[in-house]
Structure 1
Amino acid sequence: MSKVHLVRSGLDELLAGLQEGDPVPAERDLAVRFAVARDTVRQALHELLLEGRVQRRGRGTVVAKPKLVQPLSLKSYTEGAEQMGRKPGRILVAWEEVAATADLSAGLDVGLGLPVMHLERVLLADNERIGLESTYLPLPRFARLYDTFDPETSLYAAIRATGVQFASALERIETILPTPREAGLLLTTTAMPMLHLHRRSLDSEGRPIEVVRALYRGDRVAFQTVLVDGA
């Protein structure tokens, strides 16, 4: 077993005896405890950081909150966060009209180059930045949102309030690294793996509702779904 794995095993035992928010001993103290170089401790702590088990706070490291587990369903981010007892929130980054690219034209069934509504928001859980969401909506269908929607609240609730019901969605999740801008908005680094979610939602008549591109911090969010045997 490598020295990093030995340190990881020791840290696993150490973390099992700590509570959320408790400080993790300093690198130099851990190096002495496990009789290894500080670089070895730093590598083990970095692995725990990427897994979301610890997080940086100031110059130190503390035990992290459990990851926010989001359901893979047509529920909104708000509903998923509240189910875990977390307080959802949002910071508005942009709310604008943009010209439909080829992908947006196909995804939203609008003419190429025609304006679509773009809403970009940082997603919060208990005031912690965990995601960055860009939603594109067909403008003629949802222009009224400019007068009725508070961008710090649930977009799905606002859409449903217009009488539109979500019926189905195609969703794809991949792992990517953020751009410097995205990392800055999420208060992390470009080395932090992100869960990249792409979704296209339809109503009961098969009409497009939205195209969404969202990034979630891999150390703070996980996704789950229920699988049922369809045989």
Structure 2
Amino acid sequence: MTAAPKVPKYYAVRTELERIVDTLEVGDAVPAERDLAERFAVSRETVRQAFHELLVEGRIERRGRGTVVAAPKLVQPLSLLSYTEGAISHGRVPGRLLVTWEDIVGDDELCGELQIARGSTVMHLERVLLADGAKLGLESTFLPWDRFGSFTDTFDPTTSLYAAIREAGVTFGSANERIETVLASPREATLLETTTAMPMLLMHRRSLDVDGRPIEKVRSLYRGDRVAFEAILRE
């Protein structure tokens, strides 16, 4: 008879820690590593490993010198909804912090994807995405300046870009998206108040209007501990 595999100490601690978290409310303090190490008669390093896994999964989060129960992940639909619409649909308060707003000369690849002449001016907008004040993602959007250059004088970067595009008379028709897992650069980790060890979800999107004309190219980086994506599939 084959013996059952031995359960690692950290995993047993993690299981108990999950049970503790399930009894608490969002924002409640989680017992300190030292207290848990004494309770379970293990080293603090063992407890720290269990903490790390729950941090990555978004069950708990660091707040100051302590650890608290985290809010549920923001589940974003894979659709032509804007980030604002997706957040509101889940009862969250969306927000944005402007990082960069500049006009750049598009390289050959970018101009090709936006179907504009080589060397054309492209508007680059980089913003931190918020939900209930928490930093969830970093969005970098590229727009053809000859089509959306007026936004320099009219657009409020703390609001929904998709709403502004629609108000300009442009109707979204389709989008191509690719999602992969990556680690953040030091700059990105700083902007999102996390570490370079935190798994991230990287989304590349290219949106077209109803006539098949490119609207935007977007690179969005989301904290894996705070955001998830879902899609509705039909035959």
Distance 1:124 1:227 in 2: 28
Post-superposition CA distance 1:93-145 (Å, at most 9, x none) = 11111111222112101122221000000001011111000000011011111
**Structure 1 position 60, deviation (Å):** 0.7
**Runs of 4+ off more than 2 Å:** none
Amino acid at match of 1:197: M
1:7-46 pair list within 5 angstroms: 7-46=13-52
The runs of 5 or more residues in structure 2 that have no matched partner are 1-6
Once the two structures are TM-superposed, the CA of residue 82 in structure 1 deviates from its matched residue by 0.4
Query: Normalising by the residue count of structure 2, what TM-score does the alignment of the two structures yield?
Result: 0.96
CA RMSD of aligned residues (A): 0.8
Select 1:68's aligned residue among 69, 74, 82.
74
- % identity of equivalent residues: 65
1:50–1:193 Cα contact (<8 Å) kept: yes
Paired position in structure 2 for 1:213: 219
TM-score by length of 1: 0.97
One-letter identity of the residue aligned with 1:75:
L
Q: Deviations over 1:143-172 (max 9, x none)?
A: 111122111000000000010000000000
Matched, 1:87 2:89: no
Shift of 1:5: 1.1
Equivalent of residue 185 in structure 2, options 179, 186, 189: 179
Alignment of 1:150-229 (within 5 A): 150-229=156-235
Q: Which runs of 5+ in 1 are unaligned?
A: none
